[in-house]
Structure 1
Amino acid sequence: MARDPLEQRELVITRRLKAPRSLVWRTFEDPYLLAQWWGPENFTSVITRFEFRAGGAWHVTMRAPDGTERPVRYHFVEILAPERIIYRPLPSPAAVWRGNPPPTYLATLTFEALGNETLFTMRAEFESAADLEFASKSGFVRGTNQAYDKLERQLATYRSEE
């Protein structure tokens, strides 16, 4: 049986986060909190522009452990607080990616309240199955999962402060 064409070019990551939706949402809408966990393990992030609204821009530079900087620019397509964020990365000709540019995709983040927990889902819809395969091989999937691991650790620190 053939797979649905969308399934062949869509990456879905789901996490059940041990924090209320309002707190999880805040870690996405507050650039200071977002910078604490955004990016792969051992990367740091500096957010230089953050217009959290439909049509707004989001510029972040991720710094690798070796000091290499990877600037990424995003465009917010839709924000429906506290349920959904849709964004896409924009090409950045100035980016130094060592032959590993960020993939082109449309990301849809959803936040479902489950009492004191949140079902968080990220869907990245790529232009083609080949683009998704390239993204997987180039570390996008691993790096994205590492960022969400960092988010979970960050959320745990907020709980311990309560």
Structure 2
Amino acid sequence: MDGGNNMNSTQVGDREIVITRVLDASREVVYDAWTKEEQLSQWWGPQGFTTTTEKFDLSPGGIWQFIMHGPDGVDYPNTNIFVEFVKPERIVIEHAVFPHFVATARLEDVEGKTKLTYSCVFDESAEVFEKVKIYAVPGGEQTMERLEELLSKK
């Protein structure tokens, strides 16, 4: 967690993780990074992971099926369902495999930059969430760092 900078932060609640970043890119550019498969697969997942997309249907109820390949050689199959997207303001995704959560990316214009508020609300019990957050918090932070790295190249 970045305690010294109010622009970048992570907050953890009972069953929610909220990661905030100010990105040096317009909302449209950030929105595209979230909704164009060729960009999304470049940054999704923690440091050292790669992503292979098997299915990508950007429509309400559409599925993004992918495999995250860990640096240790372990594969993690994933299925996300696109719940809502409002260009360039919001993307809502349901993570349909364990751990189950609904992720919302809110994009706000801040003087030409984008304030990204990424929240994940977990369906799991508080007890299960305690175990999940051990890897979900650093994984989420690293994923947002990878998004920042991608956007810095644009």
| TM-score, normalisation: structure 2 | 0.86
For residue 124 of structure 1, what is the aligned residue in structure 2? Answer: 120
SS at match of 1:8: coil
Measured against aligned partners, the alpha-carbon deviations of 1:52-97 in whole angstroms (never above 9, x if no partner) come to 1211101111111122111100111111111111111113xxxxxx
Tell me the matched-pair count.
141
SS at match of 2:14: helix
Structure 1 segments unaligned to the other structure (5+ residues): 1-6, 92-101
Aligned partner of 1:64 among 50, 62, 70 = 70
For residue 139 of structure 2, what is the aligned residue in structure 1? Answer: 143
Q: Which amino acid aligns with 1:141?
A: V
Spell out the pairing of 1:57-136 with structure 2 (5 A cutoff).
Answer: 57-91=63-97, 102-127=98-123, 128-136=125-133
Shift in Å, 1:36 = 0.8
For residue 22 of structure 1, what is the aligned residue in structure 2? Answer: 28
Shift in Å, 1:129 = 2.5
Q: Percent identical across equivalent pairs? A: 35
CA distance in 2, matches of 1:62, 1:42: 10
Measured against aligned partners, the alpha-carbon deviations of 1:27-46 in whole angstroms (never above 9, x if no partner) come to 01110011111111011111
| TM-score, normalisation: structure 1 | 0.82
Query: Contact (CA 8 Å) 2:28, 2:87: kept in 1 or not?
Result: no
CA distance in 1, matches of 2:40, 2:57: 13
Question: RMSD value over aligned CA atoms?
Answer: 1.3
Structure 2 segments unaligned to the other structure (5+ residues): 1-12
* 4+ runs deviating over 3 angstroms: none
Shift in Å, 1:105 = 1.0
For residue 31 of structure 1, what is the aligned residue in structure 2? Answer: 37
